[in-house]
């Protein structure tokens, strides 16, 4: 129990600290928050449209559109501009709660990894490292990279995070769980 608890707490802390370093110190995710000098004009236009909070693909077909309508839209879009948009009517500063939620998610993720590693009949240092990297890579490939494939975004920061944070966690757990 002590191995699982300490392994989880330290691994969760490693994940949390890496995310701070990645986003704030090294700014690997800067491509997700590009600056445009036209931001005031864009925001004025969006406010005038009176959108609801949500995530939009522009252009897109309305709910209930037929397959033919979707195909027509796709044909008409070829070679033309398009955008994805996350819109919120009001900015709320919830840094404290977001950090608490993030840390709890990191702890839960670490707990799941420790649980998996402790189920192995034989576990050594390299098995812990590679298992940690494999689980992190599965998450990367099926979430941010898949989003990159379809929405033409940049997932480089997430790839660096996957290798760095899950590699560090694997090294920690490889050492901690295999201590005699």
Work out the angle between the directed axes of helices 95-119 and 125-142 (0-180°, nearest 10).
130
Give the structural domain span for 31: 2-37+94-176
Assigned domain for 53 exists = no
pLDDT of residue 32: 84
Assigned domain for 43 exists = no
Assigned domain for 165 exists = yes
Assigned domain for 143 exists = yes
> pLDDT for 58-72, tens place per residue?
999 999 999 999 999
Contacts (Cβ under 8 Å, ≥6 apart) of 19: 102, 106, 161, 165
Judged against a pLDDT cut of 90, whether residue 8 lies above it is answered with yes
User: DSSP assignment of 107-161, as one string?
Assistant: HHHHHHHHHHHHH-SS--HHHHHHHHHHHHHHHHHHTHHHHHHHH----HHHHHH
Nearest Cα neighbor of 53 from 97, 79, 90, 106 is: 90
β-pairing verdict for 83-87 and 54-58: antiparallel
Total structural domains within the chain = 1
Strands (E), 50-146: 54-58, 83-87
0.85 surpassed by pTM: no
Assigned domain for 122 exists = yes
Judged against a pLDDT cut of 90, whether residue 1 lies above it is answered with no
pLDDT of residue 126: 97
Assigned domain for 82 exists = no
pLDDT of residue 93: 83
What is residue 90's DSSP assignment?
S
Assigned domain for 156 exists = yes
Judged against a pLDDT cut of 80, whether residue 180 lies above it is answered with no
> pLDDT for 127-174, tens place per residue?
999 999 999 999 999 999 999 999 888 999 999 999 999 999 999 999
Assigned domain for 49 exists = no
In Å, the largest CA–CA distance within the chain is 65
> pLDDT for 83-102, tens place per residue?
999 999 999 888 899 999 99
Judged against a pLDDT cut of 80, whether residue 6 lies above it is answered with yes
pLDDT of residue 9: 97
- Rounded Cα distance between 10 and 4, Å, is 10
Q: Which phi and psi (to 5°) does residue 123 adopt?
A: -135, 130
């Amino acid at each position: 129990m002590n191995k699982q608890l300490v392994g989880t707490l330290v691994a969760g802390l490693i994940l949390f600290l890496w995310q701070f370093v990645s986003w704030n110190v090294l700014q690997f995710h800067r491509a997700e928050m590009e600056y445009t000098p036209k931001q005031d004009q864009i925001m004025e236009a969006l406010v005038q449209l009176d959108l609801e909070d949500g995530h939009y693909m522009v252009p897109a077909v309305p709910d209930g559109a037929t397959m033919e309508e979707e195909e027509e839209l796709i044909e008409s879009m070829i070679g033309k501009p398009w955008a994805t948009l996350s819109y919120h009517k009001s900015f709320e500063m919830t840094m404290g709660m977001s950090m608490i939620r993030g840390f709890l998610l990191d702890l839960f993720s670490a707990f799941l990894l420790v649980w998996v590693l402790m189920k192995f009949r034989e576990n050594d240092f390299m098995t812990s490292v590679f298992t940690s990297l494999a689980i992190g890579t599965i998450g990367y490939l099926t979430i941010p990279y898949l989003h990159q494939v379809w929405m033409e975004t940049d997932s480089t920061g997430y790839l660096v995070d996957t290798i760095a944070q899950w590699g560090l966690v694997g090294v920690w757990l490889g050492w901690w769980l295999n201590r005699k």
